[in-house]
Structure 1
Amino acid sequence: MTALPQNDARPSLVGDALRRRWPIVLLTAALVVGAVAAYAFSVASTYTSTAQVLLRPTPGNALSPDSAKNAQQITVAMETEAGLVNSPGVAAYVSQLMRKDYPAASPDVDAVISTNTQIVQVSFTGDTAQEAQQVAEAYAKGFLQYRLSETQKTLDRELRQLKTQEKVAQDNLKEATADASVDRPTAQAVARVQLYSSRLASTQDLIGETNATDTNPGAIIIPASSPTKPNGISPVLLLLAGALLGLGFGVALAVWRERTDDRIRATVDPSSMGLPILGSVPAGGEDHDEDRTEAFRQIRAGVLVATDEPLVLAVAPVTDDVHVRTSCFATVELARSLSDAGRRVVVVDATAPAAGLDRVLGADHPGGLMELLAAPVDADPYAAASPASAADRAAGAAASSAADLARDVTTSLRDAQGFVVLPSGTTTREPADLVASDRMRLVVEHLRAEFDIVLLAAPSATTSQGNEVCMAADATVLVVTERRTRATEVGEALERAARLGIRYIGLVALPRRLGAVGAHEGSRGAGNDASVGGSRGAAGRSSSRPSAATAADDGSADGAGALAGARGVGRRDA
């Protein structure tokens, strides 16, 4: 069956989740913070220092006088220069300066061009602030040294070529001069002298210009400084972020868990699977006794509004998870509340022998419902209550008088201070078969005629015995456990009830721990006058009522009238 949680429209869903499931929130936050802390403290701290280098156009480099003629050429040249910062040539200079090997293409080195400038930002990331500052400075110096060496190589190569050209020009000029030194030099010889003289002068001018070329590669305009804090986010900020993230995840998980949890919460949901929650019994000891009394008054009001008297009402736990003694406690307290309201109440223990009401009342009683149901037909004490049975057993009817009926009923029933109890008794037969018999119906109908309300303490609604008891009643109240019984279990009970014709009028929610209720066992007397109320006593009830045992000793012969006079509960007026 599909669960239909009642919290879909709860406006206080988040508040309920935080109040009830705060351990989930704290645990999730602690796990996230722990994971973040492990990460933050396992990763080694690194430091980055940056030096800014202004480049000058020099021959032999990407940024040269020839490539600095327009913006596009300068941009391409600067990108090329930045790529050379992490080149083998620069790394060799850095290794020499630092006296430590620094490989080329190191991931710790970075070079960035400042927009629309000829400035390169050279950065290095190291394990310490000092290392980062020193190596970044070394890379800046090494880069400039590399550019200077490239310029010098280029100029040296050009000078060698010019020197060669100068020598050739000098040799040619010497030869041409010798040819033109005759008395009558030819025009061709004079022209050669002029040509080589001009060529020599031009070559010497180039040599002079080359020697005068500015080889300054640039300068470090902002030296590398020692970083004051490590890279990345501060561990403190990481922990704070982890705490917030963990709390967020924890709240989301708690809300999801609260939303999907279909366990009954009587203090939040007014109903479950369409059944109203008639009342929620608080936990605790004697300090909460008045609160419990008030809770059962509310339950009493819900029962009386939903039913008509005379009433046969079954009280059954919804599943085996609700202990039968817990359910019987609810039955006894409801009987007391109904009795306080002036109703004549009898409680019939239809649970397994010595498992339910006897344990709650703290007294063993010889004889009870099971003996009455297991009696042979001829000795059936309720045979005379049915005209049809009297017709079938004309001979037996004469032997079973009203006085016999009164004595049998009086023997089986006992006074529980305010209401009458028919104990479960003992039997060697299967109780489920006994409560399914016609005699169970005869007992119920006879008690309906004598009392305003008949309460049947039933086993779990998941058992065949529990279903038979509920089928013998006019209506049934299901007993659930707060925050343990699930709505799906109530839904399954409703499905069975629809098939069997059982009428459920509501739920009674009991706490997971009843507190002082457990002390009722063993603290009460073992006789017929045992009190169910413990410390509540009989002060607020009709303490002047004579007991059932007294009525039996008086030997009253008026059957049902004797029963009425014995308990002060009286027989219902015809």
Structure 2
Amino acid sequence: MRSALRHHITSIIVCTALALGFAALYVVNLPYTYTSSAVVLLAPAPGNPLTAEAASGSGTQTTVAMSTEAELVRTSAVRDIVADTLGRLAPDGRERLEVTIPTNTQMLEISFTSRTAKQAQEAAQAFAEGYLAFREERATSTQNSQLEALQTQIDAAEANLRRATSEAASAGTGSFASQEVQLYTDRLAQLSTSRSAAEALNTAPGSIIAPAVEPAGANELPEWVYFVAAAALGMLAGIAFALLREWRRDLVRDTNAAAEMDVAVFSTVPSPGSTLVKDTADDGTEHEAYRRLRAAVVANGPAPHILAVAGVEDESSWGIASNLAVVLAEAEFSVALIAADMSSAPSQDPLGIGRHRGLADSAGEVAAAREFLVETRGVNVLTAGLDTAGARDLTASPAFRAIVNSLHEDFDFVVIAAASAGSAEGDAALLASDSVLLILTSDRTKRARLNAALERFDRLGIDVLGAVKVTTAKAPATHSERSQRPTRTSRNEEMNPKYARARR
């Protein structure tokens, strides 16, 4: 994760910026809507399902009656009343009318959604008032129809009563006409009672118990929520993309990666600068890291030994080889250091030798090479020389091997700072050594390059002693690094006295 953030922070920033841009575009084009509601309490009115004569008192009947009333709000008659009130058709294509029935009540909640808060409030109130007006008009119409029908029946009963009274007066009390008088008298009384009851009926449709108010905010989420969500999603997408890119780089990032390829990582050291590590054991983690590297080298490549130091990529091996040679000398080993990288002379001079005649100026003669040795910090150094351009093929010649073998006779360790593995100069220098110490740069060395180098070494017969991991910053050694020990540690400590000096 740290490597992905360090190398691909631009990808994360770009993904986050794109997400914020899309969020801004969405917010600009977002059709905001507002919803206002009015609550109506219904009253039983003539001609509707809630009247005493229509309702049976059961819950199912009441539910059906309320559902019928809710559908009446959406009828064209109510919409015509609302259109006259608002001066426009409602709802239009982008507006919405909803009618809900609160549980176990005779109330209707009329909600209207529109593009502005004012329109939503006006339309919700208009629908509530229009519905009640339609309900009252229908109840009044039903009452008038009942009264007209009763009045017609009363007029007919009065006419029949007058006729029967006239016939009974001429025929006598025991006649059929006298019986009709009594019948029509009772009928007229019943009709009069029904008319009085119909006139007494309340035609009030109900009342608005919660008028519509202008909504305080839109139905959609606040704008800042979209931007925060977009930033979070963009950042997550950027991190995922960065991790994918980092994974595709297929880099060696820890010691396990090299161990999977049968390369033991002896130590993790910081990137070497222009100065050497101090020669005291209490100067910090850098010196301790090189002491661990020294112990592993001595254990796995006991003296006398020719050790080539080379990078898998194009890393310069001069700084690592110089520090290793110095700590070997601290343990009282005799050490010769050869700068065999002819393609590019070391740009840094941690040993402080400066420009000096060396390998390129020896013309392949052993005696001349020995004369150019410079001793510093207990290490005999054979520099690359002054004319490196003309001696690029020297490492591939028998003369170079003769120089190395000659120094091998007089020194415990001959450390060769070689060019990168895979280059012509690098492989030639490695063939002149007993084994090679590979430099793996954290978050830079590719697994494919390391694997290719190992396969090439196997074909060339080059023995890989181990590897040293180089980080870009100084960091305390991990517990796993402290616990790493070479495979032949105990045996060499018993049989090689110099190993004990290396651990001091």
Equivalent residue letter for 2:381: V
Equivalent residue letter for 1:205: T
Question: Percent identity of the aligned residues?
Answer: 32
Q: Could you list the per-position Cα deviations for residues 66-116 of structure 1 after superposition, in whole angstroms to 9, with x for gaps in the alignment?
A: 125222111111122123223222222222223333248985322221211
Question: CA offset at residue 343 of structure 1?
Answer: 3.8
Query: What is the match of residue 472 of structure 1?
Result: 432
User: Take 1:369 and 1:190, find their aligned partners in 2: how far apart are those partners?
Assistant: 159
- Residues 358/279 of structure 1: CA separation in 2 closer, same or farther (3 Å cut): same
Q: How many residues align?
A: 461
**Alignment check: 8 A CA contact 2:3 2:443 kept:** no
Q: Could you list the per-position Cα deviations for residues 401-423 of structure 1 after superposition, in whole angstroms to 9, with x for gaps in the alignment?
A: xxxx63x4446x44364423164
**Alignment check: 8 A CA contact 2:401 2:432 kept:** yes
Query: What is the match of residue 54 of structure 1?
Result: 41
Query: What is the match of residue 138 of structure 2?
Result: 150
Query: What is the match of residue 43 of structure 1?
Result: 30
Query: What is the match of residue 390 of structure 1?
Result: none
Q: Which runs of 5+ in 2 are unaligned?
A: 475-504
Which stretch shows the higher mean deviation, 100-109 or 475-484? 100-109
Query: What is the match of residue 78 of structure 2?
Result: 90
**Alignment check: 8 A CA contact 1:281 1:511 kept:** yes
Q: Could you list the per-position Cα deviations for residues 258-277 of structure 1 after superposition, in whole angstroms to 9, with x for gaps in the alignment?
A: 78875344799996744214
- Residues 74/427 of structure 1: CA separation in 2 closer, same or farther (3 Å cut): closer
Task: Please list, as runs of the form range in 1=range in 2, the aligned pairs for 1:362-377 lying within 5 A after superposition.
Answer: 363=355, 365=357, 368=360, 371-372=363-364
Query: What is the match of residue 8 of structure 1?
Result: none
Query: What is the match of residue 215 of structure 1?
Result: 203
Query: What is the match of residue 308 of structure 2?
Result: 314
User: Take 1:172 and 1:490, find their aligned partners in 2: how far apart are those partners?
Assistant: 122
- Residues 371/511 of structure 1: CA separation in 2 closer, same or farther (3 Å cut): farther
Q: Does 1:109 align with 2:97?
A: yes
Q: Does 1:355 align with 2:314?
A: no
- Residues 282/456 of structure 1: CA separation in 2 closer, same or farther (3 Å cut): closer
**Alignment check: 8 A CA contact 2:343 2:392 kept:** no
Query: What is the match of residue 486 of structure 1?
Result: 446
- Residues 451/283 of structure 1: CA separation in 2 closer, same or farther (3 Å cut): closer
Query: What is the match of residue 226 of structure 1?
Result: 214
SS of 2:170's equivalent in the other structure is: coil
TM-score scaled to structure 1, two decimals? 0.66
Question: CA offset at residue 468 of structure 1?
Answer: 4.3
Residue from 451, 454, 470 that aligns with 2:414: 454
- Residues 127/505 of structure 1: CA separation in 2 closer, same or farther (3 Å cut): same
Q: Does 1:415 align with 2:374?
A: yes
**Alignment check: 8 A CA contact 2:304 2:408 kept:** yes
Equivalent residue letter for 1:307: G
Query: What is the match of residue 335 of structure 2?
Result: 345
User: Take 2:388 and 2:7, find their aligned partners in 1: how far apart are those partners?
Assistant: 44
**Alignment check: 8 A CA contact 1:369 1:422 kept:** no
User: Take 1:127 and 1:25, find their aligned partners in 2: how far apart are those partners?
Assistant: 37
Task: Please list, as runs of the form range in 1=range in 2, the aligned pairs for 1:252-291 lying within 5 A after superposition.
Answer: 263-265=251-253, 273=261, 274-282=263-271
User: Take 2:57 and 2:150, find their aligned partners in 1: how far apart are those partners?
Assistant: 26
User: Take 1:499 and 1:483, find their aligned partners in 2: how far apart are those partners?
Assistant: 27
- Residues 107/134 of structure 1: CA separation in 2 closer, same or farther (3 Å cut): closer
Equivalent residue letter for 2:268: G
Q: Which runs of 5+ in 1 are unaligned?
A: 1-12, 373-380, 382-404, 515-574
Question: CA offset at residue 327 of structure 1?
Answer: 2.2
Equivalent residue letter for 1:280: V
Equivalent residue letter for 1:421: L
User: Take 1:82 and 1:119, find their aligned partners in 2: how far apart are those partners?
Assistant: 9
User: Take 2:5 and 2:327, find their aligned partners in 1: how far apart are those partners?
Assistant: 36
RMSD: 4.4
User: Take 2:347 and 2:239, find their aligned partners in 1: how far apart are those partners?
Assistant: 47
